[in-house]
Structure 1
């Protein structure tokens, strides 16, 4: 599923500097919701409702995510510095479940990992280099870059393997968007970020 890391910079420093911080990403979502809108060019009452629900999910996870001891230990072993570029959108349910975990890990890294958030639909040229299965613009997508060269080290996403398998199974069975969204979010609730953290732990071990 993962492509070979590129030997050239994934994006220009100026583009990276213009990315959102977590705080400014959350602020953007809140400001748009206040106008009855969400991120991206497509707007509908349904998407805005998803974005509002996702804002609540992120706020809850911001308060409740507890990093696994193994993740904390691996962070302490990190030597280099890395940019964590995250392709996301406010209406994306998977992003709401995963972005707070990415942010929690980065914050616990004491500056070794710096998160940068880019909206998928404003960065389709980048998104199309990281398609899931070679066809799908699935998000969130984490692209790990060396901080000095902005070359790719690793990538992850759009969701833990178990959640991806569940989603594909439900779609193959003909489930509607509402049906598979409900099942997948129930999976996230039961999993309590454990699978996400363990897969990201494997990624961190690639960086050590």
Structure 2
């Protein structure tokens, strides 16, 4: 696992590099992974949504405090693909949090190019993305998060139970939810995760 992580990190993107990749894909009318017209279209849509969030998303000092106060370095390694709609809503938020903290480095890798890493972090047996793995300086896995917040996951589960599958109508509803939530659910869950890791570290040091 450690060797797989090292290899993946060596070929990872910074957030700006990932945005550059999206722009190149849009220009060339392509996508990451398996190329289909649907995924090409989603890549273009995701680029626009990410650009909008990059500009509009403003976090308060209260929201970023748990992350700026981190005393040990972490790498937030995110597995995704350019066509992933949830990633377009999630990565800009993660980037804002990472930018606020000198101890968080955000790195991004493509799921289909890193199956050995992805398969260590399946969700209900599936390669659901985006999936974030939090690593310490020794590349030990501290925890993982994703592909969605608990609130967004409930929306998905409830819709599947009622209609049997995810369709275009639900994707539109989920987009509306993301627009209203403005990343707050993501920030809240990661705040809790960071607090748990801090308490765990403090317990280890005391022990």
Q: TM-score, normalised by structure 2?
A: 0.89
- The alignment of Structure 1 onto Structure 2 pairs a total of residues equal to 197
Deviation at 1:176, TM superposition (A): 4.5
**What are the residue-to-residue correspondences of 1:5-24 with 2, within 5 Å?**
9=2, 11-24=4-17
Q: Aligned to 2:82, what secondary structure does the other structure show? A: coil
In structure 1, C-alpha distance between the alignment counterparts of 2:2 and 2:72, rounded to whole Å = 17
Higher mean Cα deviation, 190-199 or 169-178? 169-178
Q: Aligned to 2:142, what secondary structure does the other structure show? A: strand
**What are the residue-to-residue correspondences of 1:1-208 with 2, within 5 Å?**
9=2, 11-40=4-33, 42-110=34-102, 112-133=103-124, 135-147=125-137, 149-174=138-163, 175-208=165-198
In structure 1, C-alpha distance between the alignment counterparts of 2:68 and 2:139, rounded to whole Å = 22
Name the CA shift for 1:14/1:194 in 2 (closer, same or farther; >3 Å): same
Q: Contact 2:43–2:82 at 8 Å: present in 1 too?
A: yes
Deviation at 1:49, TM superposition (A): 0.9
Q: Contact 2:13–2:109 at 8 Å: present in 1 too?
A: yes
RMSD across aligned C-alpha pairs, in angstroms?
A: 1.6
Q: Aligned to 1:173, what secondary structure does the other structure show? A: helix
Higher mean Cα deviation, 13-22 or 114-123? 13-22
Deviation at 1:71, TM superposition (A): 3.2
Larger relative contact order (C-alpha < 8 A, sep ≥ 6)? 1
In structure 1, C-alpha distance between the alignment counterparts of 2:159 and 2:191, rounded to whole Å = 27
In structure 2, C-alpha distance between the alignment counterparts of 1:198 and 1:70, rounded to whole Å = 11
Runs of 4+ in 1 over 4 A off after TM superposition: none
In structure 1, runs of 5+ residues without a counterpart are: 1-7
Deviation at 1:76, TM superposition (A): 3.0
| Residues 169-200 of structure 1, C-alpha deviations (whole Å, 9 max, x = no match) | 11222254212211111110111111111011
